Amino acid sequence: MNLNYQGTTSKGLSCSGKSAASYIARCAQLAMILEVSASPKPGNIDRHHDYDDTRYEHFLASAVSISPVIEDAARGCTGIGESLKAAVNQSNSWQAGGNTHFGAFLLLIPLSMAAGELLEKDGSFDVGQLISRTHEIVMSTGTEDALDFYKCFSSAGVRVNDVDEFDLQDEGSLGSLGEKGVTLYDLMVISQGYDQIANEWVNGFKTCAYCAQTITRLMTAQDGKNLVPDINQAIVYTFLKLLSETPDTFIQTKTNIETAENVSMQAKSIISKIENNDYKMSLFWGDIETFDEDLLDRRLNPGSTADIIIAGIFITLLGGLRF
C-alpha cells in the first residue's frame, strides 16, 4: 500500500502549513466515523445500537471534535501526552457520553505524527515505513507524556487496570512517576500483558497494520470483484477476525479473562463459517446479528478491538483506499 500525497511543498509541513496535516486529520475522522457506523459490530455501539448513557451520536461528535488535535500532532507541534490531553478535552467539550475514543487516541496520535513526518519528506510512504516510524516515536516518549496520560483518566472516564505500583486513579502516583523518571512507553511495557493498546505500542503497531492489510485485501478487486461488496462488510469481518484471534482486554477488565476468551470463541465460530464459504458474509449475517444482540444484552463491548480497527481503517485511508 503506497500513498502519493499531492499537497506538500519543498518546505514540508510546518505549524503554519495545513494541507497535508488536514488530510491526515480527515483520514482520522473518517476512520472513527466508519468504525462506529459499521453494523452489526458485535457488542459495540453502532448506527443501530446505543447504550443508555452513550449513544452513536456521541461517537460522531467525538470524531469530529479532534480534527485540530490531529492536525497539530501531524505538524509536529505537540507531543503525545499533550495531544492526548487535548483530544480528551475536545471530545468532552463536544459530547456528554463519556469515554468514546481514549484507546483510539493513543493509537491515532502517534500514527498521525509519523504520517506527518513521512509526508514532509517526499509526500509518499508505505505501511512499513509508517509503522516503523510510529514505533520509534512512542519509544521516545518522556515522563511528561506519562504525567499527561495519568491526568487524563478522571476527565476521560477511562476504565483501566492499575500498573503495578502506580495506581492509575491516585494522583499521588504522579509524584512517584516524576521521581522515578517513568516514561509513557515504560507504562505501556508494564501494561502490555493485559492491555491491547499497550501491546500495540510495545510490539510496533503490528495488529493495526494487520487490520489495514485485511481491509485492503477485502476491498481490492481480484478477478474483477472484491471479496466483500462494501466497506461496511469489510470492517465487520475485520472486527470479527481480530476478536476471534485476540480476547478483548476491555471485556477482560470489566469482567474476567474467561469471559473475554468465550467471546473470542464465539467470533471464531462465525469467522470459520464465513471463510469456509468464500466470504459470502450475507449467508451468516443472521449469526452476526444474534452474536451482536447477545453481547449487547450482556453489556460486553469489545472496545479495545474497536480502537485497533479505527487505527487499521486510518492506515488504509492514508494509503489511498476509497470505496
| Reported confidence tier of residue 13, pLDDT bands at 50, 70, 90 | very low
Query: Which tens digits make up the pLDDT trace of 54-98?
Result: 999 999 999 999 999 999 999 999 999 999 999 999 999 999 999
| Reported confidence tier of residue 160, pLDDT bands at 50, 70, 90 | low
> Residue 220 and residue 299: Cα distance in Å, rounded?
35
Q: Answer whether 145's CB lies under 8 Å from 184's CB.
A: yes
Query: Which tens digits make up the pLDDT trace of 182-193?
Result: 999 999 999 998
Q: Is 247's pLDDT higher than 60?
A: yes
Name every residue whose Cβ is closer than 8 Å to that of residue 287 and which is 6 or more positions away in sequence: 270, 273
What is the average per-residue pLDDT within 9-20? 50
> Residue 190 and residue 188: Cα distance in Å, rounded?
5
Residue 56: Cβ within 10 Å count: 18
Name every residue whose Cβ is closer than 8 Å to that of residue 131 and which is 6 or more positions away in sequence: 204, 205, 206, 208, 209
Q: Answer whether 317's CB lies under 8 Å from 234's CB.
A: no
> Residue 242 and residue 206: Cα distance in Å, rounded?
12
Chain mean pLDDT for the chain: 89
* Angle ∠(57,194,206) on CA atoms, nearest 5: 75
> Residue 164 and residue 167: Cα distance in Å, rounded?
7
Q: Is 52's pLDDT higher than 50?
A: yes
Q: What is the structure's pLDDT at 124?
A: 73
Q: Answer whether 274's CB lies under 8 Å from 182's CB.
A: no
What is the average per-residue pLDDT within 42-61? 96
User: Side chain identity at 143, as an amino acid letter?
Assistant: T
Name every residue whose Cβ is closer than 8 Å to that of residue 302 and which is 6 or more positions away in sequence: 42, 43, 44, 239, 243, 248, 250, 251, 263, 295
| Reported confidence tier of residue 123, pLDDT bands at 50, 70, 90 | confident
What is the average per-residue pLDDT within 284-306? 97
Give percent of the chain above pLDDT 90.
77
Name every residue whose Cβ is closer than 8 Å to that of residue 51 and which is 6 or more positions away in sequence: 45, 299
Scanning 157-302, the segments in alpha helix (DSSP H) are 172-180, 184-191, 196-202, 206-219, 231-245, 249-254, 257-275, 285-297
What is the average per-residue pLDDT within 16-44? 92
Range list of β-strands (E), the chain: 2-4, 124-126
- Buried b / exposed e along 9-38 (16+ C-beta atoms within 10 A): eeebbeeebeebbbbbbebbbebbbbbbbb
Q: What is the structure's pLDDT at 12?
A: 39
In this structure, of 77-81, 116-120, 210-214, 289-293, the range with the lowest mean pLDDT score is 116-120
| Reported confidence tier of residue 157, pLDDT bands at 50, 70, 90 | low
What is the average per-residue pLDDT within 125-152? 93
Name the residue among 92, 132, 102 with its Cα closest to residue 115: 132
Q: What is the structure's pLDDT at 179?
A: 83
Bond prior to 40 in cis (omega within 30° of 0):
yes
| Reported confidence tier of residue 153, pLDDT bands at 50, 70, 90 | confident
Q: What is the structure's pLDDT at 7?
A: 34
In this structure, of 39-53, 110-124, 132-146, 234-248, the range with the lowest mean pLDDT score is 110-124
In this structure, of 16-25, 57-66, 154-163, 309-318, the range with the lowest mean pLDDT score is 154-163
Q: What is the structure's pLDDT at 172?
A: 63
> Residue 283 and residue 192: Cα distance in Å, rounded?
37
Q: What is the structure's pLDDT at 205?
A: 98
